[in-house]
Structure 1
Amino acid sequence: MGLVLPQEIVTERVLPTLRTELATALLERGWTQRAVAEQLGVTQAAVSGYASGKGTVDERLTDDPRFGETVDRLVAGFDSDDLDEYEAMTEIIELIRSFEDRGPICAIHEAEMPALEGLGCDICVRGADDAVAADRETLANVRRATRMLRTSDSIGAFVPNAGTNLGMARPNPVGPADVAAIPGRIHSVRGRIEVPGNPEFGVSEHVSRMILAANEVDPTVLAACNLRTDERLLEAARERGFETFAFDADYEDRTERLRSAFETRATVPRIVYHEGAFGIEPITYVLGESAVSVVDVVADLVTAETEP
């Protein structure tokens, strides 16, 4: 599906579901169909449809406790005549606003407009500010880089058994939530790269740690991809003028130890690797300014080592 405005979600999903639930609850309290129609501003035929189970109900909305609480307050107020139309409208608008702030409206919007997936979009609340633009650019860069991985005939041979990942941080990252990566990792199946989904923020652990440690010392480093450590790749990197840096595979305090090592060197090598340990697969990280630039380097290294 193409362009879907958030207002369409409100008009086509939220309001019909709300009317259905309100009508059903008022009918259960003994209201006539005519009285319900007048109260909700709909036709009596519409209320008859609600009563016969033909109304629209989106469970992604009704499953949220805030929806039921709002319906209960509105029904109680209508039934006791303690709630006028202005107050009812205020209640409904507040519900919609809360649902637009990373709530069910966002979930429905993302499902119907895949371009929003993983963006953490709150444009309804915050507007199209610079931070939203940066997030979009970051996710788009990771998507482009992922497509580049898919088209490679050589990278599959260097994907770790546990899978690989490709990540890129938004500018000035402070934690893993600022790094966009592929949820579930990327795997090689019979030499073919399989990507389980679109990039999202906050779904990577190991790649995020590497990016964050490197970025604190060199803010130009925003992206990384991990591969299986292979001496052929390391040698190809050295031949192309890349400095390679070995570190301890132990996970304990890894981010702090990496940061300290980079600070001591005053530089961040673009090829960082370890030889593994008990239960830890040997991994090499390729670092760069963007996910696309990282995959460019990866593709060059693996192509050099698979050419006859």
Structure 2
Amino acid sequence: MKFIEEVVVEEFLPTFRSMLAEALRERGLTQHEVAEALGISQSAVSKYAHGDVARRDEVLEDERVAELVEHVADGLATGDMTRVQALVEAEVLVRRLEEGDLLARLHEEAMPELADYDGYARIHDPESGLRTSEQVRSSLRQALRRLTNASGFAGLIPNVGSNLVECLPEAGSVDDVAGVPGRIVDVKGRATVPGDPEFGVSEHVANVLLSARKGGADVRAALNVRYDKQIVADLEAAGYDAIEFDPDAPTDPIREAVASRDPDDRSATFVCYQTGGFGIEPITYVLGPDADSVVTAVKTLLGR
């Protein structure tokens, strides 16, 4: 993990300072005067003067950096610019170079994973939703560990496989729902997760979750397990209300079933189930406010 501030300190600042020290020396300032102007030691100025400090070509060759160095050097050399003004001018340029520019590119070079998230801009943009997206994926990882470490969960996986999903707060499509790519499967009695949670990889369970939300349920996570009467009965006995729906209904059966719930008798985590249809495997869905709540409900089945 590398912060943009580290890139500024390690990659930009040594080159910028050496350029500025060089420009000030060209204007007749002594090493002592350069050190005072830049707020650094004379030994540091000496290192800059003798080329003992590594410099980034990308910074050296940037015209905006070169122009600022000349401008600041002129101001400091003549006394027309204070150190505070010089700092402000440099800070303004640094902020510009961070925003999808030179420093953002150096940041992505130092941390290639940023390319998957549109780099620096989304990390520092509170409206980008990146932080929320990563929180959803983290929530799923933690819940999946609890689920797959639970003895007996593999026996609850239906023939079509299970998936644990969680959505963004304002989810409107499957692309806003994170889940397990390829689904959770039973491999020799062990629940196996084939990959790290991703957005847009679960169409079926994600659509169940979205339908429940359209029906008025304040839920953000869902998990499908196999159906039998005892599973539903045990979940009800644990305090989770259960709703049956018809998978062959012509409209949106889950949305209609959820919308029909008694508003005075609603648990935050609840169950939707169907007993099968033509070519349709019976399935139980557990839905809740987050992945951890859903896993907690399912784990009540494992101690029975």
TM-score range, shorter chain: 0.5 to 0.7
Instruction: Name stretches of at least 5 consecutive residues in structure 2 with no aligned partner.
Output: 8-60, 65-96
Alignment of 1:174-189 (within 5 A): 174-189=172-187
For residues 162-203 of structure 1, give each alpha carbon's deviation from its aligned partner in whole angstroms, at most 9, with x where no partner exists: 210000111121111111111110111111111011111111
After TM superposition, the structure 1 stretch with the greater mean CA deviation from structure 2, 142-151 or 120-129, is 120-129
1:299, CA displacement in angstroms? 0.7
CA–CA separation in structure 2 for the residues paired with 1:106 and 1:4: 7
What's the counterpart of residue 195 of structure 1? Answer: 193
CA–CA separation in structure 2 for the residues paired with 1:283 and 1:109: 38
Determine if the alignment matches structure 1 residue 129 to structure 2 residue 123.
Answer: no
CA–CA separation in structure 2 for the residues paired with 1:156 and 1:171: 30
What's the counterpart of residue 290 of structure 1? Answer: 290
CA–CA separation in structure 2 for the residues paired with 1:186 and 1:259: 25
Determine if the alignment matches structure 1 residue 260 to structure 2 residue 264.
Answer: no
What's the counterpart of residue 158 of structure 1? Answer: 156
Alignment of 1:195-274 (within 5 A): 195-218=193-216, 220-250=218-248, 253=251, 256-265=252-261, 267=263, 270-274=270-274
2:284 aligned counterpart, secondary structure = strand
- C-alpha change, 1:274 and 1:107, in structure 2 (3 Å) is farther
CA contact (8 A) 1:142 1:199 kept: yes
Instruction: Name stretches of at least 5 consecutive residues in structure 1 with no aligned partner.
Output: 10-83, 88-92, 112-119
1:276, CA displacement in angstroms? 1.7
What's the counterpart of residue 168 of structure 2? Answer: 170
- C-alpha change, 1:207 and 1:105, in structure 2 (3 Å) is farther
CA–CA separation in structure 2 for the residues paired with 1:242 and 1:294: 11
1:273 aligned counterpart, secondary structure = strand
CA contact (8 A) 1:106 1:121 kept: no
- Cα RMSD after superposing both structures: 3.8
AA at the equivalent of 1:125? A
Q: Which structure has the greater CA radius of gyration? A: 2
For residues 247-269 of structure 1, give each alpha carbon's deviation from its aligned partner in whole angstroms, at most 9, with x where no partner exists: 1223864xx33223322335577
CA contact (8 A) 1:217 1:266 kept: no
1:301 aligned counterpart, secondary structure = coil
CA–CA separation in structure 2 for the residues paired with 1:107 and 1:218: 41
For residues 53-75 of structure 1, give each alpha carbon's deviation from its aligned partner in whole angstroms, at most 9, with x where no partner exists: xxxxxxxxxxxxxxxxxxxxxxx
1:279, CA displacement in angstroms? 2.4
CA contact (8 A) 2:243 2:257 kept: no
Instruction: Count residues in correspondence.
Output: 217
Report the TM-score, using the length of structure 1 for normalisation: 0.59
2:248 aligned counterpart, secondary structure = coil
- Percent of matched pairs sharing the same residue: 34
- C-alpha change, 1:122 and 1:191, in structure 2 (3 Å) is same
1:107, CA displacement in angstroms? 10
CA contact (8 A) 1:153 1:191 kept: no
- C-alpha change, 1:285 and 1:105, in structure 2 (3 Å) is farther
1:213, CA displacement in angstroms? 1.5
For residues 133-173 of structure 1, give each alpha carbon's deviation from its aligned partner in whole angstroms, at most 9, with x where no partner exists: 22121111111000011211111101011210000111121
AA at the equivalent of 2:225? L
Report the TM-score, using the length of structure 2 for normalisation: 0.60
Alignment of 1:93-172 (within 5 A): 108-109=112-113, 121-126=117-122, 127-129=124-126, 131-172=129-170
CA contact (8 A) 1:233 1:302 kept: no
CA–CA separation in structure 2 for the residues paired with 1:7 and 1:165: 39
- C-alpha change, 1:107 and 1:166, in structure 2 (3 Å) is farther
- C-alpha change, 1:159 and 1:125, in structure 2 (3 Å) is same
2:279 aligned counterpart, secondary structure = coil
